[in-house]
Amino acid sequence: MTLLVTPRLHLRRFRAEDAAALAAYRSVPEVARYQGWTAPVGEEEAHALVRQFAAGDPGAPGWFQYAVEERATGLLVGDVGVRLDANGMQADLGFTLAPAAQGRGYATEAVRAVLGDLFERRGLRRVSAECDLRNAASARLLERVGFRREGLRPAFTWLKGEWTDDLLYGLLAEWWRG
């Protein structure tokens, strides 16, 4: 089921057939580098993830994962995750693209669609995001869509055998409208 449409993408629910494509892009070491999971992602793990994503409710507190599908090919090219706070007024955001889909503005297009929905239709006040200080592509994307850098937490996350410095970002509804 398509939830959001952009010129080049469909943002829809995950479905069982997405497991192989999800496993393929989540298994790329550069894609996993700053993320909470470890590559490679096996088929069984991907099937379990897809089942969990498919059962999510975008209107309920907790994570909801949008599958990002390229309209021209019907291929799954990535995902955008939104963690809605229990207060229903703020959320956290995450995003991932398969390497072949990067560098074409797809993440910007998908994230803008999700933010438009959160701020304009669902009336949220704040969306927050975090990224590793070294994750330049992620920081550029966040700033391109209007997030402001709110801080840097040195050695905040122990990830894959090292302490990482995390950038904090925020976007308020009034900045989005402005």
Q: Are 107 and 115 in contact (CB under 8 A)?
A: no
Single residue of 19, 31, 84, 114 touching ligand COA by CB under 6 A: 31
Nearer to ligand COA, 55 or 65 (CB): 65
Q: If binding is defined by CB under 6 A, does position 39 make contact with ligand COA?
A: no
Residue-wise DSSP of 60-127? SSEEEEEEEEETTT--EEEEEEEEE-TTSSEEEEEEEE-GGGTTSSHHHHHHHHHHHIIIIIS--SEE
Q: If binding is defined by CB under 6 A, does position 104 make contact with ligand COA?
A: yes
Q: How far is the CB of 140 from ligand COA (least distance, A)?
A: 4
Residue type, 165: D
Nearer to ligand COA, 162 or 174 (CB): 162
Q: Are 77 and 103 in contact (CB under 8 A)?
A: no
Terminal-residue alpha carbon distance, the chain: 31
Residue with tokens 């995001």: 129
Q: How far is the CB of 5 from ligand COA (least distance, A)?
A: 17
Single residue of 97, 118, 171, 173 touching ligand COA by CB under 6 A: 97
Close Cβ partners of 105 (under 8 Å, ≥ 6 residues apart): none
Nearer to ligand COA, 123 or 155 (CB): 155
Q: If binding is defined by CB under 6 A, does position 65 make contact with ligand COA?
A: no
The DSSP H or E segment spanning 2 is strand 2-5
Single residue of 3, 54, 75, 137 touching ligand COA by CB under 6 A: 137
Cβ-closest residue to ligand COA?
105
Q: If binding is defined by CB under 6 A, does position 128 make contact with ligand COA?
A: no
DSSP-assigned letter for residue 40: P
Q: If binding is defined by CB under 6 A, does position 71 make contact with ligand COA?
A: no
Q: If binding is defined by CB under 6 A, does position 138 make contact with ligand COA?
A: yes
Residues forming the site for ligand COA (CB under 6 A): 31, 34-35, 94-97, 102-108, 131, 135, 137-138, 140-141
